[in-house]
Amino acid sequence: MNRKRVVITGMGAITPIGHSVSDYWHGLKAGQSGVSEVTCFDTTDFPTRIAGEVRGFDPETIVDKKEARRTSRFILLALKASLEAVADSGLDIAPIAEKVGIEIGSGIGGIEILEQTAIALAQKGPTRVSPFTVPMMIPDMAAGLVAIKTGAKGPNACTVTACASASNSMGNAYRLIQQGHVIAMITGGAEASITPLAMASFSAARSLSERNETPATASRPFCKTRDGFVMGEGSGILVFEELEHALARGATIYAEVVGFGASGDAYHITAPAPAGEGAQRAMLAALQSAGISPEDVDYINAHGTGTELNDRNESEAIQAVFGEHASQLFINSTKSMTGHLLGAAGAIEAIATVLSLKTGYMHPTINYHEADLHCTLNYLPNQGAEGNIRVAISNSFGFGGHNAVLVLKQWELG
């Protein structure tokens, strides 16, 4: 089969540190934390009272008031980022609508709708349940609404693989173009799960940082003093496009997608496999699919959650895959600034990776205070770095043992 080359021609983002790609990138370069006290509900009785909220977002800038009221927040965030990405790409969808698909992942979907409706049902009875409950709640509706708003009529799907959802979605999008089924894909992830139920559940599992007094320093990937991840929300969307089509219309090309790998741990519902065994296989599969050796990789945007097990196992997995070359890699964690966007994390991190390839700058991992003997690589602690990076990978791992890895390359026509 003649494999098509796949490039990235548009990007959109709404995150705790910026409502556009340019603002987001500025925040990353500045080492800006988007973590603060939760404002969307009363956290008085919660052990964790901090998160990376998207503040100041007015959905009526993209939909009317009536539609905003009956649309879940994660869908609105996805739509905001998608409209930016499509506009950025300059892609005229109408003439090729059946060849433009959408795959937008979400780990949890409209959980706030489920919570609110369950309370209404219990307190006021079934007649007070909105007919929009299911369409507002189900994770695939972000892809559905983006299709309605953009007119893209190609394959339309949502992958749900916990914190690997966006990366699995982008991997599927990449393969659809590579195999010639579509010309372009609008892809990424969206999440808005800073809610009482979600935070209470993660707190009960002792997964969240409890540094409530110093929220900006709470997310500490790879630092010995890390005490859990910080929840975040937002959306990242990218336009993947077949190379020849992009060149023919004179599109701006940010980077090339050259590989994707995925694996399952088959080990535990929340803990990663020892030594990151599943992560190792996903990285190796991604590199093999790209035809790239480990020594060719310059930079890794790590999953880097700030939990004890993830950071240790991811570091061990990188060491195992890259051997002596691991010490030469630049590695960072975007989550140190944004918090963990769960099903959307892989998408905003892919955007950060693309911009690093494009500009030659890799953002710092902030809040790194003390080295961990089990995490001994170069995580760009508190200081970004410049370099001519040609090949990068972006790691995403999720509850249930889902592992997804993208390989991205600096754009060159060759």
- CA-based nearest residue to 135, from 195, 67, 86, 84: 67
Which residues are within 8 A (CB) of 198 and not within 5 positions of it... i.e. 6 or more apart? 108, 111, 231
Can 26 be counted among the known catalytic residues? no
**Strand-strand pairing, 255-264 and 299-301:** unpaired
Task: Give DSSP secondary structure letters for 103-143.
Answer: EEE-SS-SHHHHHHHHHHHHHH-GGGS-TTHHHHHSTTHHH
Query: What integer is the mean pLDDT of 310-317?
Result: 98
Distance CA 274, CA 326 (A): 19
- In one-letter notation, the amino acid at residue 333 is S
pLDDT tens for residues 76-110?
Answer: 999 999 999 999 999 999 999 999 999 999 999 99
Coil, helix or strand for 237? Answer: strand
- Catalytic site residue 303? yes
Per-residue pLDDT averaged across 225-253, rounded?
98
Confidence tier at 63 by pLDDT (50, 70, 90) = very high
Q: Note the pLDDT of residue 414.
A: 65
User: Per the residue annotation, which of 19, 158, 163, 245 is the catalytic one?
Assistant: 163
Q: What is the pLDDT of residues 377-386, one digit of tens each?
A: 999 999 999 9
Q: What is the mean pLDDT of the chain?
A: 97
Which tokens in the block code for residue 377?
């690589």
Q: Measured between alpha carbons, how far is 215 from 52 in angstroms, rounded to an integer?
A: 9
Query: What are the start-end ranges of the E strands in 29-165?
Result: 36-37, 50-51, 100-105, 156-157
Return the domain boundaries, the chain: 7-399
Structure confidence at residue 69 (pLDDT) = 94
Nearest-10 crossing angle of helices 111-124, 196-204? 110
**What digits encode the pLDDT tens for the residues 180-201?**
999 999 999 999 999 999 999 9
Distance, CA of 403 to CA of 161 (rounded, Å) = 9
Confidence at residue 412, expressed as pLDDT on a 0 to 100 scale: 85
Name the band, by pLDDT with cuts 50, 70 and 90, for residue 1: low
Q: What is the DSSP letter of 5?
A: P
Which entry of 19, 245, 340, 402 is annotated as an active-site residue?
Answer: 340
Q: What is the pLDDT of residues 279-309, one digit of tens each?
A: 999 999 999 999 999 999 999 999 999 999 9
Q: Catalytic site residue 40?
A: no
Phi/psi at 72 (nearest 5 deg)?
-65, 150
pLDDT digits (tens, 9 = 90+) for 344-365: 999 999 999 999 999 999 999 9
- The DSSP code for 267 is S
For the entire predicted model, the pTM comes to: 0.98
Contact 190, 143 (CB under 8 A): no
Beta bridge partner(s), residue 51: 36
Instruction: Find out if CATH 3.40.47.10 is the number for domain 7-399.
Output: yes
| Model confidence at 152: pLDDT above 70 | yes
